[in-house]
Every structure is written in C-alpha cells, then in structure tokens.
C-alpha cells in the first residue's frame, strides 16, 4: 500500500498525477485531498490497514511488486517521467540507482537509499519533505 498525505495548507487534486516504479506507472484517479488528509492506494498482495480517515482508491496501482528488500516509488505531477521538474516525491530502498533515482537526484529531492531487509514491512516518512534516507523509518 502507498499512502500519500497532503502536507500543504490547501486542498489539492491528484488527477493527472502518477505513481512510478520504473518501468511501471499508475495514473491516480481524480480525488480531492484536504490539508492533512491521506489517500491509500493498494499495490496488490498483502494489504495493510489504511490510516484512519484516509481516502481509499478503489483500484490497484499496477506498478509491480514492492519488494521489502529493494525498490523505489516516485510521485509525478504529469506523465513526463524523465523530467526533474515533474517529480514531486521519491524514495528508494535496499540499494541506489533505481530507474528514476537520477531524476530525483537531479530534482534535488533525493539522496542515498533506505536500508531495509527481507523482513521489512513498511517505510514511513518521519519528516517533510522526506528528501534523504534519514527521513524514513523502517518497520
């Protein structure tokens, strides 16, 4: 499950936004997200309980398997996946150099990678913006 939280002070809309785990992409449906509100999107497999009061998307994000030991997820505000101005958020774990890592680094929104293992079940940002591995907790 991927959870996106509006950390701003204005309502936003996720229409036209995409989740990416290269080479797979998922267009997020049209959903209004109030300040402080979260949206939960299943990626299939084991589904965890979404946060209380989260909006749940009634589709599975077809971005491939999210391996506990190695992977990436990016959030884009368009389908221009090579653009460092269109990537909004990024996290990679297990190792560096994934498919969209260089785009996130060029955008100045990512450095390093989060250390995980085969028994890891969750990553959660402990600050915003979460632009480096130290900004993420492993559960």
What number is the average pLDDT over the span 104-123? 91
CATH number of 2-134: 2.60.40
Predicted confidence (pLDDT) per residue in 1-14, tens digit: 899 999 999 999 99
> What pLDDT, on the 0 to 100 scale, is given for residue 122?
86
- Comparing CA positions, the residue from 65, 10, 7, 73 lying closest to residue 36 is 7
- In this prediction the pTM is 0.91
Distances (CA, A) of 107 to 1, 5, 28: 25, 20, 22
Residue length of the chain: 139
Could you identify the residue written with the tokens 């589709």? 59
**Is 59 within 8 Å of 20 (Cβ atoms)?**
no
């Amino acid at each position: 499950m991927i959870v996106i939280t509006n950390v701003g002070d204005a309502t936003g809309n996720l229409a036209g936004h995409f989740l990416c785990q290269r080479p797979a992409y998922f267009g997020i449906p049209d959903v209004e997200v109030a300040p402080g509100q979260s949206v939960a999107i299943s990626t299939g497999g084991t589904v965890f309980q979404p946060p209380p009061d989260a909006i749940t998307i009634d589709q599975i994000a077809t971005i491939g398997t999210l391996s506990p030991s190695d992977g990436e997820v990016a959030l884009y505000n368009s389908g221009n996946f090579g653009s460092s101005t269109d990537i909004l958020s990024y996290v990679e774990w297990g190792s560096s150099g994934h498919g969209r890592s260089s785009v996130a680094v060029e955008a100045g929104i990512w450095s390093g990678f989060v250390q995980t293992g085969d028994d890891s079940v969750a990553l959660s940002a402990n600050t915003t913006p979460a632009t480096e591995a130290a900004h993420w907790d492993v559960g």
